[in-house]
Amino acid sequence: MSNQMQQIVLASRPDGSPTLDNFRLENADMPSPGDGEILVAVSHMSLDPYMRGRMDDAKSYAAPVPIGGKMEGGSVGVVLTSNSSAFKEGDHVFGPFGWASHSVANAQMCRKLDPDMASVTTALGVLGMPGLTGWHGLMEYGRPKEGETLVVAAATGPVGSMVGQLAKAKGLRVIGIAGGADKCKTAVDHFGFDVCLDHRAYPDAKSLRAALKEAAPKGVDIYFENVGGKVLDAVLPLMRPFGRIPICGMIAWYNEGGLGENATGAGLTAPKLWRTILVNFLSVNGFIISNHWNRFPEFLAEVAPKVASGEIAVQEDITQGLANAPQAFIDLLTGGNTGKAIVKVG
Amino acid sequence: MSNQMQQIVLASRPDGSPTLDNFRLENADMPSPGDGEILVAVSHMSLDPYMRGRMDDAKSYAAPVPIGGKMEGGSVGVVLTSNSSAFKEGDHVFGPFGWASHSVANAQMCRKLDPDMASVTTALGVLGMPGLTGWHGLMEYGRPKEGETLVVAAATGPVGSMVGQLAKAKGLRVIGIAGGADKCKTAVDHFGFDVCLDHRAYPDAKSLRAALKEAAPKGVDIYFENVGGKVLDAVLPLMRPFGRIPICGMIAWYNEGGLGENATGAGLTAPKLWRTILVNFLSVNGFIISNHWNRFPEFLAEVAPKVASGEIAVQEDITQGLANAPQAFIDLLTGGNTGKAIVKVG
């Protein structure tokens, strides 16, 4: 085993959209696990939109990554050394290993994986944080009822595809929004959405709204919010009385100003947003899944068998090599991936 | 009995703040009650902020008042003629009688009052729609817990004073916001708020926020929203994780643009609002009490004894004469009243 590892650190904070020079690939000494810790060789790391937030130093639900600090994130790998009775050498493991080839972590922060049950990469997507986000957000705050209509953007992403498939199974009309005709085809053919609209085909919120109105003639009962921007502006006036909006993200606004005029909410003012919530008796809930890990066992018990049986479809978009993680992350933020974004590290 | 009655109709739709010429006092023929209906001599009518919404023809939770139509609203009065077994002549009654000296209504839409239990005017405020609004909104969506901090504006109004008193009784720190030093004194001395801030003493959201921060050093768990505008802008960044915002109104925005720059949300953009909901895991619920009348018996059983015992204080602001209702309503929208706004009609 080499006594060197590789990691990607935050070189500088982005001004708007991240660029490659915000990241730096570094060599570092191989860390040694302390008591209760494990040393892991990372095989695959996850790329998720929330990581954009960690690059800023604005107040948010988690502390920012410091300049020069390792980019954070969930990964899977194999245990090389264990100082914990919970793991032994060779175990497959999920944990907060960050953007790195190797990592040391407290064993209590890690979860053992059974590679015979499902591919270990599913722990990063459909059976991991994004899948739990879709499941918890839809069930807890969306409260889907048969015959209702749901809209979710980033429809082929790991959150959107989970939301769409669960809602479809509950008897809802499910409308996806995605960037590009190929993704829309994937949403319908692979994930079973009733309709998927290509937001790039609509220049503004108004034209997107007209298309949505046609796709959702009765209006929208649940808008599962993960993008903000133009899509929110388009959907909002279509919300039905007693509608629900779970909010797990707003990727269009993470690089505020970076995605055109509508992304900054030019077409949508705070009073208009607030008034829509009032006059339609909407229930809006922001949430971040790290507050709800207690539901993970219940989620896994319900969803893992459906993944195994193929009832819930999976799609992964795998980039080769840690060095290519920054570009893959930049692509993720502009919708360059189809399916769960993963980097194969080792 | 005269065969003429008086009523106030909507003469024209307001452009921003209503003015007297948006209203017209008219004589009309005395209506005759049909089967199942009652004829009522109105003694007191209610003035409520929601009526501003009915003057516009924008899509809302209720149909607008047509031009030339009688202004709508709840009133109390005495039954003159009854074609319903539920009422007899001389009964005190609450119903949707509108801005009028007399009215006919379906008996099923009316509620008999016991003048020995409480003054009949309480059916317009503390034991009526505004009281129920405060009680239901706080308990259902606010979910108050001992030791938390609550902020409510229009603190001396019938909704705000109900919310503040109920929250105080539950062991919360209760901060009111009101317009003027006299109202703030009423909020503290009469309604028992811990603190009340005079929003007129703060030129902008930022200065109001600084004062709120001092009054709520731990942050705000519940913001009971009935005003929008500058107050929302001030409170929003102070919300604590897992905070709740029940929304029953936004009077500052009813006359959009009419209350200065901050009222239009200039300092508060849609992305900022949306992001705050996400990163603080807020629960935001719009509601209109007409969807929740089924809870009225429970409300009355709980709150009426507290009003009778004086545990819940009452304050009414009574204007004399139907002809003065338009000016009293205009005053209500700019905070001219202290306590529940009522017009003594007959």
What digits encode the pLDDT tens for the residues A271-305?
Answer: 889 999 999 999 999 999 999 999 999 999 999 99
Chain A / chain B CB contacts < 8 angstroms: 115
- Predicted confidence at residue B205, as pLDDT, reads 93
Ranges of H-type helices in chain B: 50-54, 129-136, 158-169, 181-189, 205-215, 229-235, 270-279, 296-309, 325-333
- Encode pLDDT of A141-155 as tens digits: 999 999 999 999 999
Q: Pick the closest to residue A346 from A27, A74, A1, A77 (CA basis).
A: A77
pLDDT at A228 over 50: yes
Structure confidence at residue B61 (pLDDT): 67
Q: Which residues pair with A6 in a beta bridge?
A: A27
Are B33 and B166 contained in the same domain?
A: no
Are B196 and B179 spatial neighbours (Cβ–Cβ below 8 Å)? no
Same domain, B58 and B169: no
Residues B89 and B176 reside in one and the same domain: no
Which chain B residues have any C-beta within 8 angstroms of a chain A C-beta? 59-61, 225, 228, 232, 241, 247-250, 253, 256, 264-265, 268-275, 277-288, 291
Tokens of A66: 């410091």
- Find the Cα–Cα–Cα–Cα dihedral B70, B73, B75, B81, rounded to 10°: 50
Of A250, A264, A275, the CB nearest to B278: A250
Q: With respect to residue A85, please indicate whether it lies within any of the assigned structural domains.
A: yes
Q: Coil, helix or strand for B177?
A: strand
Do B282 and A277 make contact, defined as CB atoms within 8 angstroms? no
Claim to verify: residue A258 and residue A186 sit in the same structural domain: yes
Single-letter amino acid code for the residue at A298: E
Query: Are A45 and A82 in a shared domain?
Result: yes
- Interface ipTM above 0.85: yes
State residue B256's pLDDT score.
52
Give the domain extent around A133: 129-289
Low-confidence stretches of chain B (pLDDT beneath 50)? 257-264
Least confident range of A122-131, A316-325, A329-338: A329-338
Helix B270-279 × helix A270-279 angle, to 10°: 60
Same-domain pairing of B212 and B119? no
Q: Each residue of A29-42: pLDDT tens digit?
A: 999 999 999 999 99
| Domain CATH number, residue B219 | 3.40.50.720
- Interface residues of A toward B, Cβ cutoff 8 Å, are 59-61, 225, 228, 232, 241, 247-250, 253, 256, 264-265, 268-275, 277-288, 291
**CATH code of the domain in which A57 resides:** 3.90.180.10
- What is the tens place of the pLDDT at every residue in B20-53? 999 999 999 999 999 999 999 999 999 998 899 8
For residues A148 and A273, membership in a common domain is answered with: yes
Asked if residue A70 belongs to a domain, the reply is yes
Average pLDDT in chain A: 93
* A295 located within any domain: no
In a domain, A241, yes or no: yes
pLDDT of residue B194: 98
Nearest to B167 by CA among B197, B190, B137: B137
| A270 to chain B: closest CA residue | B270
Structural domain contains residue A312: no
The total domain count for chain A is 2
State the SS3 of A228-276. CHHHHHHHHHHEEEEEEEEECCCHHHHCCCCCCHHHHCCCCEHHHHHHH
Strand pairing of A75-82 and A37-46? antiparallel
Q: Please check whether residues A137 and A247 belong to one and the same domain.
A: yes
Q: Which residue has the tokens 């944990």?
A: A95
CA distances from B39 to B3, B25, B104, B106, B226 (A): 12, 20, 4, 9, 34
Same domain membership, residue A103 and residue A186: no
Say yes or no: B209 and B135 in one domain: yes
Query: Which of A60, A274, A285, A292 has the highest number of chain B CBs within 10 A, making it the mutation to test binding with B?
Result: A274
In a domain, B295, yes or no: no
pLDDT-derived band of residue A263, with 50, 70 and 90 as boundaries? very low
Q: Is residue A296 part of a domain?
A: no
**Residue A299 falls within a domain, yes or no?**
no
Regarding whether B174 and B142 lie in a shared domain, the answer is yes
pLDDT attached to residue A259: 36
Smallest Cα distance from A306 to chain B, Å: 29
Quick one: B277 and B339 in the same domain? no
